[in-house]
Structure 1
Amino acid sequence: MDRYDAMRVFTRVVEQRSFTQAAQDLAIPRSTATDAVKQLETRLKVRLLYRTTRHVSPTLDGEAYYQRCLMILAAVEDAENAFIGARPKGLLRVDAHGTLARHFLLPGLPAFLALYPDIEFFMSESDRLVDPVREGIDCVVRVGKLIDSDMAARRLGALEEATCASPDYIKRFGLPVSPADLEGHRTIGFRSSATGALMPLEFTIDGTVHSRTLPTTVSVTGAESLVAAARLGLGIIQVPRYHVAGDLACGTLLPLLADYPPAPIPVSVLYPRNRQLSPRVRVFIDWLGQEFAKRNV
């Protein structure tokens, strides 16, 4: 095995923390992966990995070599693409917030794949804190304020939110005309699936965003369940407007406190800070930015 392929094996072992999983990812025997790393260690005269029966992790030298390997492998791919005129290709692995993916990402995907037919697209849906290196994910699309991490981020846009409730709820509890009128009202609680925290309502008053927590009898972790519960008259909700555009148009939900809008929710794409972006990831992130700009998000 040449040094280039050995570097590919080594980086995958570090990312998966497993010779077995790395070998499966690369479709090679486990013994081949083990021999490749041993050859690198012999050539470099340093120990690259700590090995136990259950765990593999890089040494300090191994971590430094891993970072160099990432840059070298990406540079080789860039050079080959430049000289052979190749279009971005290979498997692109994206993790995205589910409803956002269905409303914004998937509708434009045919056009993206028509531009880059040699890219194979794989998408997982979640709203949790992922480890892209360990899980083999190229980039992550998220909604909301970002949790501190060692990932690089690019803001794509922001989602306008709507405050609304059903006609039945308003008939029973009354129509608030300002946040001060919310005494005695109820909300359907929305909990972050990543942290479990209950999200308060937000209202912009004289240019300043204020938070307000109301009593809840029902709380959920999904936007679709939140909207469904609102249709049943269980409380007031705040949700990205695209979730309720149809309901607002047909009257199954009614807008509330439009003069006191919540702060827009940021949408971002995240990727490993210490990994040089491959051409397929780079064009996808650029395309995402263009898609959100076209939609005025």
Structure 2
Amino acid sequence: MAWNMNDLSVFVAVISNKSITAAANKLGIQKSTISRSLERLESHLHVRLIERNNRNIRPTSDGQRLYEELLPTLDKLDSIYREFMGGGASGNINISTTIAFSREIISPALFNFTDENPNITLNIKSTTGYMDFYHDNIDIAIKLGASSPSDCYAKKLFTVQLCWYCSPAYLEKHPEVADASYSELTRHIRFVHSQENYPDKFKLKESDAALDLNTLPGVNVLEDVLMIRDAIISGSGVGLLPDVYCNTHVSKGRLIKIAPQLLVSPHVDVLAIYPGNSRLSSKLALVLSFLEKAVAAYLAHSSGETK
């Protein structure tokens, strides 16, 4: 059976306000429009819904039953409408993120977001691989690289530069690494970073030589770049690490940037990817805004400490 939603809304407004005039004022329509809507609904349902005289109206037993059934349903529809039009935000958001991004950027800001948005439930999956939006039911993915699926939008959050680091203690023991050549530096590399959504190739800008650290003898390949950073801080050789995740440790004297002449390219963009086949919902917009603010706060904090 086809329902006219406007007629149903008019009927509920009349019963709720106990007056055609009051309902007309609330809805911003003419009383004659309300009368025609009620007549049309009664004709469609083949029942009388309202008893009325010159002064009063009251629902019939059928009208009261219809009103009680419709009221929560229309309230729910109104809530859904306000959510999608930006008047409210609730529900689940599934986020796929890199391990480093979740630990360094999301974690410090997470409580404030959940405290301010109690109706939004975050499901965050930290992974080194790329998750499929549809198969894995992902709403937002944090991805490394310059590209995104053709049916998705990409918002750049920040850019990472890869630099060479070691600990002060390691530099004191091996002062030659401060301005070593690449071939000399490789003898001090014990851990390298590799993950599925990392760019395929890096080069040294000066020589245009490809970096293939994975093939170095005795090198351990780790998916978690923060494990490598922590190993380097503890004195385990030299590491090629994202500057964003090292700045704070440089300012505190735990890491030292070395070999500045060995510039590595390309820089790596960190992107927020989300499906582009529908209008941006209010809850998704809130989460994207949260991620941008968390990134801005993290970058401001780390850059302030390195000045």
TM-score by length of 1: 0.59
Q: 113-122 or 247-256: which moved more?
A: 247-256
Q: Which amino acid aligns with 2:237?
A: G
Q: Secondary structure at the match of 2:153?
A: strand
Aligned to 2:279: 276
Cα RMSD (Å): 3.9
Following superposition, the deviation at residue 227 of structure 1 comes to 2.2
Q: Which amino acid aligns with 2:136?
A: E
Change (3 A) 1:244 1:81: same
Q: Which amino acid aligns with 1:286?
A: S
Q: Which amino acid aligns with 1:177?
A: D
Aligned to 2:73: none
For the residues of structure 2 that align with 1:210 and 1:195, how far apart are their CA atoms?
22
Q: 5 Å matches for 1:155-234?
A: 155-167=156-168, 169-170=170-171, 171-172=173-174, 174-177=176-179, 179=181, 182=184, 185-194=187-196, 200=202, 203-205=204-206, 211-213=210-212, 215-219=216-220, 220-231=222-233, 233-234=235-236
Q: Secondary structure at the match of 1:270?
A: strand
Change (3 A) 1:140 1:78: farther
Following superposition, the deviation at residue 183 of structure 1 comes to 6.2
For the residues of structure 1 that align with 2:235 and 2:78, how far apart are their CA atoms?
56
Aligned to 1:139: 140
For the residues of structure 2 that align with 1:216 and 1:110, how far apart are their CA atoms?
43
Change (3 A) 1:245 1:184: closer
Change (3 A) 1:107 1:185: same
Q: 5 Å matches for 1:92-103?
A: 92-103=93-104
Following superposition, the deviation at residue 125 of structure 1 comes to 0.9
Q: Which amino acid aligns with 1:194?
A: E
Following superposition, the deviation at residue 143 of structure 1 comes to 3.1
Aligned to 2:240: 238
Following superposition, the deviation at residue 217 of structure 1 comes to 1.4
Change (3 A) 1:121 1:209: farther
1:153 maps to 2:158: no
Flag structure 1 segments of 5+ consecutive residues without an equivalent.
4-75
1:257 maps to 2:268: no
2:289 to 286, 289, 293: 286
Following superposition, the deviation at residue 212 of structure 1 comes to 3.8
Flag structure 2 segments of 5+ consecutive residues without an equivalent.
4-76, 301-307
Change (3 A) 1:266 1:210: farther
For the residues of structure 1 that align with 2:84 and 2:218, how far apart are their CA atoms?
62
Q: Secondary structure at the match of 1:239?
A: strand
For the residues of structure 2 that align with 1:253 and 1:277, how far apart are their CA atoms?
41
Q: Secondary structure at the match of 2:122?
A: strand
Q: Which amino acid aligns with 1:187?
A: I
Q: Secondary structure at the match of 1:133?
A: coil
TM-score by length of 2: 0.57
> Is the 1:152–1:270 Cα contact (8 Å) retained in structure 2?
yes
Q: Secondary structure at the match of 1:132?
A: coil
Following superposition, the deviation at residue 232 of structure 1 comes to 5.4
Q: Which amino acid aligns with 1:236?
A: V
Following superposition, the deviation at residue 277 of structure 1 comes to 2.9
For the residues of structure 2 that align with 1:295 and 1:271, how far apart are their CA atoms?
22
Q: 5 Å matches for 1:6-155?
A: 80-81=81-82, 86-146=87-147, 150-155=151-156
Q: Secondary structure at the match of 2:187?
A: coil
> Is the 2:130–2:197 Cα contact (8 Å) retained in structure 1?
no
Change (3 A) 1:181 1:148: same
Following superposition, the deviation at residue 126 of structure 1 comes to 0.7
> Is the 2:95–2:139 Cα contact (8 Å) retained in structure 1?
yes
Change (3 A) 1:82 1:91: closer
Change (3 A) 1:265 1:85: closer
